[in-house]
């Protein structure tokens, strides 16, 4: 068996790893590159012929893990895509959304280039269209956690709860080599312990090979137990001042976690009943998937459901699917909480809400997620006094707040907790899915803690297992 990293090696997006022997090629995840520096790789020829890949094992529905699937299918992949039930449903929503965005961006770029009379480095065509994305879901083969699936006569797979987003899995592959059975564990994205809604990340007793992420391999998030205290403080203070609370929100997991937190705080009388809007069609759709799969929740969440509580709903919550409904939010008098996408303010309805609130000192813009370099969200968070939205210069006078603890990714201590959970040190541990320096630093940390051979995975390099 050999492994080759086709992405997320010394960078954090474009997760795709090829496991192969003479007869079989298995692709673990099939993500899109999202970091500006690496996005051109989305347009390069796929390093292995898509039609020669037997199957894809998909750990979860984030675009950096599943977002290249429509292109892989368009270019000839015909095999099964193994994933959990919630992953299949959330991935379908996310892929359609990504395809819409690609079409929109290509059209926008074409118009701009025409106007400016120039050509860019890539075609003014979407990487894939909505029609392409619609061809993916029929290949999904849904399996539950801990339910073994047969990839070939000699290779089986099993998913375990990653505690990262709903349905997210770690994948264990077992393969027969000579008389031995070898095990390789792919961590996917590792979640966190004691998070609301989700179960803790699964820890394994043994494996021969481990391929693990290192996104926050050099950082601590701090205590996430204070999230809801911080949130209630910000909501109460802004309510006193008579402003709005605007929350740029990622549609998957973060939106549902916020709804869950707010419904808990309301039932504990920690915040007043305020008009609250989930103003994101994608987040509304993903919330429906959450409601459909309560068996994937942790014990606390299940106990609340048993008691008859609604986890993602409360009296003054309004979900706004249509543009008309979204526009009507502007007419609400008094304090409102508005959650809208995109999470980094790069597009979507959040921009309209920012336009109306950035100039109001009584309002609060609350960031609850990572803001990448070069995004509008990052500019605002870093204290820009003026930003450009829809071609207008807008002064920033509002209060800017950030809560760190909502992260869905394990930090350094949690990554260590997971990898030291193996009762016997694995033979080899590959460190991937971390920025160059982070992956190296985390690799060094592991070398000091474990007897395993530690390898920081390199892009397109092949390793013998």
**Spatial CA neighbour of 422 closest among 404, 449, 400:** 449
Please name every residue paired with 431 in a beta bridge, in sequence order, or none if there are none: 212, 456
Smaller CB separation from Zn ion, 126 or 163: 163
CA distance readout (Å), 134 to 31, 73, 148: 17, 10, 27
Smaller CB separation from Zn ion, 34 or 236: 34
Smaller CB separation from Zn ion, 348 or 369: 369
Smaller CB separation from Zn ion, 169 or 376: 169
67 contact partners, CB below 8 Å, separation of at least 6: 30, 31, 32, 34, 94, 95, 98
| Measured CA angle at 292 (ends 305, 270), to 5 deg | 40
Q: How far apart are CA 274 and CA 242, in angstroms?
A: 11
**Spatial CA neighbour of 246 closest among 371, 126, 402, 388:** 402
**Spatial CA neighbour of 50 closest among 132, 170, 141:** 132
In 3-state terms, what secondary structure has residue 421?
A: coil
Decide if 193 contacts 414 (C-beta within 8 A).
yes
Q: How far is the CB of 65 from Zn ion (least distance, A)?
A: 6
366 contact partners, CB below 8 Å, separation of at least 6: 231, 234, 245, 246, 247, 401, 402, 403
Q: How far apart are CA 89 and CA 74, in angstroms?
A: 20
CA distance readout (Å), 419 to 4, 146, 205, 414, 452: 21, 19, 10, 9, 11
Q: How far is the CB of 164 from Zn ion (least distance, A)?
A: 6
DSSP single-letter state for residue 141: E
Q: How far is the CB of 84 from Zn ion (least distance, A)?
A: 14
Q: How far is the CB of 102 from Zn ion (least distance, A)?
A: 20
Decide if 419 contacts 446 (C-beta within 8 A).
yes
Q: How far apart are CA 184 and CA 205, in angstroms?
A: 12
List contacts with Zn ion (CB under 5 A): 62, 189
Q: How far is the CB of 166 from Zn ion (least distance, A)?
A: 11
Q: How far is the CB of 62 from Zn ion (least distance, A)?
A: 4
Q: How far is the CB of 411 from Zn ion (least distance, A)?
A: 14
Q: How far is the CB of 189 from Zn ion (least distance, A)?
A: 4
Smaller CB separation from Zn ion, 97 or 189: 189
Largest CA distance in the chain: 72
Smaller CB separation from Zn ion, 188 or 243: 188
Smaller CB separation from Zn ion, 181 or 372: 372
Q: How far is the CB of 407 from Zn ion (least distance, A)?
A: 11
Decide if 60 contacts 164 (C-beta within 8 A).
yes
Smaller CB separation from Zn ion, 215 or 357: 215
Q: How far apart are CA 190 and CA 221, in angstroms?
A: 14
Smaller CB separation from Zn ion, 62 or 349: 62
């Amino acid at each position: 068996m050999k492994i080759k990293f086709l992405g997320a090696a010394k960078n954090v997006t474009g997760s795709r790893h090829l496991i192969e022997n003479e007869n079989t090629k298995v692709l673990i995840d099939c993500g899109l590159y999202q970091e500006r520096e690496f996005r051109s790789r989305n347009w390069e020829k796929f390093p292995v012929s898509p039609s020669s890949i037997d199957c894809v094992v998909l750990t979860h529905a984030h675009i950096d893990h599943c977002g290249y699937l429509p292109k892989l299918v368009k270019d000839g992949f015909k095999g099964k895509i193994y994933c959990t039930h919630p992953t299949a449903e959330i991935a379908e929503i996310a892929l359609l959304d990504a395809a819409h965005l690609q079409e929109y961006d290509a059209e926008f770029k074409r118009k701009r280039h025409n106007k400016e009379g120039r050509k860019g480095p890539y075609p003014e065509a979407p990487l894939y269209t909505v029609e392409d994305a619609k061809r993916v879901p029929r290949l999904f083969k849904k399996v539950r956690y801990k339910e073994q699936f047969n990839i070939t006569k000699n290779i089986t797979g099993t998913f375990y709860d990653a505690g990262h987003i709903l349905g997210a899995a770690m994948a264990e592959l077992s393969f027969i080599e000579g008389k031995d059975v070898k095990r390789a564990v792919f961590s996917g994205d590792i979640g966190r312990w004691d998070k609301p809604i989700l179960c803790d990340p699964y820890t394994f007793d043994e494996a021969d090979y481990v391929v693990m992420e290192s996104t926050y391999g050099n950082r601590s998030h701090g205590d996430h137990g204070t999230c809801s205290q911080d949130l209630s403080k910000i909501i109460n203070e802004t309510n006193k001042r008579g402003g709005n609370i605007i929350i740029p929100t990622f549609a998957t997991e973060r939106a549902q976690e916020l709804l869950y937190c707010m419904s808990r705080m309301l039932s504990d009388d920690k915040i007043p009943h305020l008009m609250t809007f989930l103003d994101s069609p994608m987040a509304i759709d993903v919330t429906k998937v959450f409601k459909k799969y309560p068996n994937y929740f942790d014990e606390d969440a299940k106990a609340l459901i048993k008691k008859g509580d609604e986890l993602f709903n409360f009296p003054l919550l309004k979900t706004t699917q249509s543009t008309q409904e979204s526009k009507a939010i502007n007419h609400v008098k008094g304090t409102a909480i508005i959650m809208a996408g995109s999470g980094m303010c790069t597009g979507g309805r959040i921009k309209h809400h920012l336009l109306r609130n950035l100039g109001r000192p009584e309002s609060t813009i609350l960031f609850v997620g990572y803001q990448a370099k070069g995004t509008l969200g990052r500019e605002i968070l870093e204290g820009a006094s003026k930003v450009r939205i829809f071609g207008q210069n807008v002064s920033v006078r509002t209060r800017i707040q950030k809560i760190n603890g909502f992260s869905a990714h394990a930090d350094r201590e949690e990554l260590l907790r997971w990898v030291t959970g193996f009762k016997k040190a694995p033979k080899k541990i590959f460190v991937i899915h971390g920025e160059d320096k982070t992956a190296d630093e985390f690799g060094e940390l592991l070398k000091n803690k474990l007897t395993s051979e530690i390898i920081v995975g390199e892009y397109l390099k092949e390793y013998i297992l």
